[in-house]
Structure 1
Amino acid sequence: MSLPEEDLTCPVCCDIFRDPVLLSCSHSFCRSCLKQCWDTRVRECPVCRRKASKSPPPSNLALKNVCEALQQVRRQITEEEHLRCSLHGEKLKLFCLNDEQPICVVCQASKLHKNHDCSPVEEAFLDCKNKLELFLKSLQSKMESLKMLYRTSADMSTYIKYQTLETQRKIKSQFEQLHQALHDEESARTEAVKKEEEERITAVKEKMNKLSAEMLSVTETMSAVEKQLKEDDLNLLKNFKATQDRDRGTVDGLDDMSGLLIDVTKHLSNLKYRVLEKILDNVGYSPVTLDPSTAHPCLILSEDLTSLHYSKQPSCCPDNPERFHVSAEVVGMSSLGSGSHHWIVETGSNQDWLLGVASLSAPRNTEVAARPENGFWTICFRGGELRAMNSPPTLLTIKSKPEQVKVQLDCSKGTVSFSDPVDHSLLYEFTQTFTEPLLPYFYTQSTKPLRIMPEKVIITVLQQ
Structure 2
Amino acid sequence: MAAANYLSSEDQFLCSICLDVFTDPVTTSCGHNFCKTCINTHWNNNDHYLCPMCKKVFNTKPELHVNTFISEMVVQFSQSAQQKASSSRSEQQVSEPGEVPCDVCTGTKLKALKSCLVCLVSYCETHLEPHLTVSGLKRHQLINAVENLEGRMCTKHDKPLELFCKTDQMCVCMLCTVLDHKMHDVVPLKEGYEEKKAELWETESELQQIIQKRQRKIQEFKHSVHLSEKDADREISEGVQVFTALKESVERGQANFIETIKEKQTTTEKQVEDFIKELEQEISELKKRSTEVEQLSRSEDHLHLLQSVQSLNTHHPTPTKDWTEVSVRPSSYEGTVVRAVAQLEETLSGEMKKLLEAELKRVQQYAVDVTLDPDTANPYLILSCGGKQVKHGKVKNNLPDNPERFSRYNIVLAKQSFSSGRFYFDVQVKGKTAWDLGVVRESIDRKGVVALRPKYGFWTICLRNGNEYEALDNPSVRLSLKSPPQKVGVFVDYEEGLVSFYDVDAVALIYSFTGCSFTEKLFPFFSPCSNNDGKNSAPLIICPVRVK
Taking structure 1 as the reference length, the TM-score comes to 0.48
TM-score, normalised to structure 2, is 0.42
Structure of larger gyration radius: 2
